[in-house]
Structure 1
């Protein structure tokens, strides 16, 4: 099975020589998880999902 994901790499921040790299944004967790598995299989075996809230602080 082939899975397509947009490869739009961005360095988000660094902390103690650890870099967060953005591979894409997804509308659902299921989409993100599917992309994570493909990224782990093809590009980066250490890929993980960062979940950030999109709600504004009050």
Structure 2
């Protein structure tokens, strides 16, 4: 679909990064199954999982 190898490589790496993030959410933060009932509880569960993941990710980043 793309003619440039550079663009293809960038898209491949972007997708790999997204899938790595989803995998980490599923393994470490219980994103694979929500045991909370109801839509409002589900939204809260997703929100708290994503915030916890992002906080853990930001703490691992080294200041430049």
Q: Same fold, TM exceeding 0.5?
A: no
Q: TM-score, normalised by structure 1?
A: 0.30
**More helix as a share of residues:** 2
Higher strand share goes to which structure? 1
